[in-house]
A and B are shown apart, each in its own frame.
Chain A
Amino acid sequence: MSWMRHCLGTLSVGAMLSAASVAMAAPTNVSVTPPNNARFLLGQKFDLRVEGKGVGPFSATMSIDGVAQAFSSGAQNSLTTDGISSAGFGGFNLRGYSSLQPGLHTIEASFTDSTGTVNATANFEVFDVRGDRAGARNVIIMLGDGMGTAHRTAARLVRYGATGGDPNGYLAMDYFPATGMVTTHSLNSIVTDSAPGMAGYTTGTHSFNGQEGVFPAHVTNAFYFPRVEYMSEYLHRTQGKALGLVSTADIEDATPAANAVHTGNRGAGTGIVDQYLDESDPADGRHSGTGLKVLLGGGRRWFLPSTTFGSSRSAGSDYAQLPADLIAAWHLPSTAAGAADPTRDLLTDYQNAGFSYVDSATSLAAVPTGGKKAPTKLLGLFGYGNMNVALDKLAKRRNVLVPGTTTFAVDDYHAPDQPMLDEMTSAALNVLNRDKDGFVLMVEGASIDKQSHAMDAERAVDDTIEFDRAIAVARNFAEKVDRRTVVIVLADHECSGFSIIGALNGTVANLQALPPDGSVLSPTAVPARQAAVGTYDLAGFPQYSILADGYPSSFDIDGKLLFGFGASGDRFENWLTKPRPIVDSLLTSSIQAELATAGYPAQPVNRSQADGFFVRGQAVGAAQAVHTASDIPISAYAARAAMADQFVGVQRNTDVFVKLMRAVLGGY
């Protein structure tokens, strides 16, 4: 992951620059945001900013369509300008701008330091998607992080199998009537990470890798960046809709945060979980904020005061007090101004704001779904960091250890009773459906991506099946409970170049009996485990045994599916289910015995280095597989077919926002 490097790059993306002065020197890095060719919904708010680097004092001008604009912050002809610009930079902001005039608009700006002036221009477009049709009351975004076409195929083949050229059954997402393709590029790269990936769908604009709900800038705190309004904020402000965020990841993670939090650093966990609450509009004034009412996932570590064991809160990942013009222009309450407060007891603050709190599958299942005791806001934190993956949660539920382990992974992570994603989705819908104004719900199958990074194919596929079961819950809601609902299923990007390369040519017992491949490194030697890959005809039609819980009893069946990774790091491949969600453990048997004596979990022989064959990483070395630039599939369902049909064809990621807003505003 390289977004940290990108964040420091030049910001004048697509903006046209010209030196207006004849002076020899001139300010550098002059830029205007929003970036050139950004698109906004009619009335959607965003911040404009002119910045540059040079020798102060600094001043700037800005006009839109030839009409001079006053900045909301940035003292002219001063060294400090807006007080939030990075060292060497001057910055001038116009916060909370919006336009009610559809069409193309032109920003003309100038930035002056003591050595000269540089001009910059950028265009932006305002679109109007209102229409006469009945708008969707609810929007459900099912986001399979890193889920490409092959992940979907793999989940279908494992869950249902195939015979004589046809699948024996189909996933819930396969039954969605409208399917298309989506580009996944970010503002600064063909390969995105989850922050701009998700934010493209929820803001309609591109952002830099590592950043969500903001445009790039040089400012002193990650939460000071120029903002762009989220779908959740726009719909809460204009229609009073609620927001629900459900993820199997640490809830701080980029995908959920890119629905509600404005930050230039997706890793700033303390500030992110604070902002979820502080800008949730707890007073329900409906002038600002996201209307957040459901937050379910992992990440309890960010909600505990830093002085408590298990906390990850820190001042360095928090926000300092937000600028006054930002607070005013976005109509935020003074309580949203924020402070660097690592010792904040956020769990208590959420409960004081009306959230019921649950911390296990058992307590989630016990949440009343009707009557006076049913909560109107729900916080569920089921792990300290990321929740465990389906394969490891199921091992505990079935009380069957993953072969090669002596303990359950969920116990090792001190979260023995974690819900499955379909249970979380049901609970979220129960709460949100009590809101008469409708809702936006984002449900993330997070570890499809995480396990693809780790090149753990079995865990990635099991999590895709888990995600599909959550999709079935959403589809049922849109079909049977509230037919004014649009549901889309998509990914933010593909991860790992995941592919189904064939199937094991033989039995697992034979595979385990193969001679070790660990030292087979000569290109002229064929590792036994490479020869065991059945390609083409030899792959046949693998059939897995599915238990009553809806998941395969084991991935290690004779003739099992085998997977490859086109964007891989180095790995040792032995084709067997990894005992732990880990990188190759590479332990010799003598070390295993020693660790076992010392109280460490015994490492299985089948993960030893001597066993698997070495596969040189194609994208990186001794590191994780990476995201790819591939398009991803999107599938849509709505009771009104025209609403879903919009998503057929090839589309940009930012178009998804436009189409969802068309669905809500009746212009589809």
Chain B
Amino acid sequence: MKMRALTISLFLLTPLVACSGRDARQALGLEQGAATTHGSSAPPATVLAFSEIIAKGPELRLSARTQALAGRHVRMRGFMARLELPIKGGFYLTPQPVDCDEGGGGTADLPLESVFVISRALQDREVPHLRGPVEVTGTFEVGSRAEPDGRTTALRIVLDATLDAASSKTDEVAVANTRARDPK
């Protein structure tokens, strides 16, 4: 099935997850059942694991690998943090599922390794929350930056625009398509 002016593509993990997934899909103008693969025409990406972000040792600093990947095309897998105070145009990717309440500006429960994932296509909209693991591919940014809403981010991934010729402004969030790989 062809992605049409695709903004976010979801692959649903299980029927129950689909409850929230369908809402997300509708919010994003996607047809039910739409799924995508992202490997064929996407540029090659380096896989970065959360466990590699911070350098080993007592001092808290970014690893050499993290710094070396700045500006490069990376792929990460994690979870979409659920925030009580939603953010527009992006979401936090975290090593474990995280629930942030209103405290601390809404971000006090994010682990330090959290990566802010930026969707240019959704810059004025909230990204609907997805349960379960998500995989993102895009350009990795390293270094402190003040976001328009007053947050500061240290690590970011700017999502790829898809290579769909029909749209030059489309991003990709592919939920890990594990069902296809299920051995049964």
Q: Which A residues have a C-beta under 8 Å from some C-beta of B?
A: 1, 3-4, 193-194, 249-250, 252-254, 266-269, 298-299, 306-317, 342, 384-386, 412-414, 446, 449-450, 453-454, 518-519, 572, 580-588, 590-591, 594-595, 598-601, 609-610, 614, 622-624
State the Cβ distance, A466 to closest chain B Cβ, in Å. 17
B168 within 8 A of A: no
Q: 1/0 contact trace for B37-71 toward A, CB 8 Å?
A: 00000000000011100100000111000000000
Contact B178 A582 (CB under 8 A): no
Q: List 21 A-B contacts (CB under 8 A).
A: A1-B101, A252-B105, A308-B144, A385-B104, A385-B107, A385-B108, A385-B109, A453-B84, A583-B97, A585-B132, A586-B13, A586-B17, A588-B13, A590-B178, A591-B13, A591-B178, A599-B50, A601-B95, A622-B20, A622-B129, A622-B131
Q: List, in ascending order, chain A residues with CB within 8 A of B152's CB.
A: 306, 311-314, 342
Q: List, in ascending order, chain B residues with CB within 8 A of A413's CB.
A: 111-112
If A306-B152, A598-B49 touch, whether A591 touches B176 (CB-CB below 8 Å) is: yes
State the Cβ distance, B78 to closest chain A Cβ, in Å. 8
With both beta carbons as reference points, the residue of chain B lying nearest to A583 in the complex is identified as: B99
**Bound state CA distance, A505 and B132, in angstroms?**
31
- Most A CB contacts (10 A, CB to CB) among B13, B50, B97, B105 go to B105
If A311-B144, A414-B112 touch, whether A317 touches B150 (CB-CB below 8 Å) is: yes
Query: Which secondary structure dominates where chain A touches chain B?
Result: loop
**Bound state CA distance, A586 and B98, in angstroms?**
13
- Most B CB contacts (10 A, CB to CB) among A299, A313, A582, A585 go to A582
Contact A4 B85 (CB under 8 A): yes
Contact B95 A450 (CB under 8 A): no
Contact A386 B13 (CB under 8 A): no
Interface residues of B in 127-147 (CB under 8 A from A): 129, 131-133, 144, 146-147
The 7 nearest A-B residue pairs measured at CB: A316-B150, A267-B105, A250-B104, A385-B108, A250-B108, A314-B152, A582-B97
Q: Which B residues have a C-beta under 8 Å from some C-beta of A?
A: 13-17, 20, 23, 49-51, 54, 60-62, 77, 82, 84-85, 95-99, 101-112, 129, 131-133, 144, 146-152, 154, 176, 178, 181-183
Contact B104 A386 (CB under 8 A): yes
Q: List, in ascending order, chain A residues with CB within 8 A of B82's CB.
A: 583, 623-624
With both beta carbons as reference points, the residue of chain B lying nearest to A255 in the complex is identified as: B103
**Bound state CA distance, A542 and B14, in angstroms?**
36
- Picked from A312, A453, A518, the residue with its CB within 8 Å of the CB of B107 is A312
Contact B62 A309 (CB under 8 A): yes
- Picked from B54, B84, B133, B147, the residue with its CB within 8 Å of the CB of A623 is B84
If A519-B16, A582-B99 touch, whether A309 touches B154 (CB-CB below 8 Å) is: yes
- Picked from A310, A313, A412, A450, the residue with its CB within 8 Å of the CB of B96 is A412
If A582-B99, A590-B182, A609-B16 touch, whether A298 touches B131 (CB-CB below 8 Å) is: no
**Bound state CA distance, A586 and B54, in angstroms?**
27
Q: List, in ascending order, chain A residues with CB within 8 A of B103's CB.
A: 194, 249-250, 253-254, 386, 446, 450
Q: List, in ascending order, chain B residues with CB within 8 A of A311's CB.
A: 144, 152, 154
If A412-B96, A588-B13 touch, whether A454 touches B131 (CB-CB below 8 Å) is: no
Q: List, in ascending order, chain B residues with CB within 8 A of A598's CB.
A: 49, 77
If A269-B105, A584-B131 touch, whether A599 touches B49 (CB-CB below 8 Å) is: yes
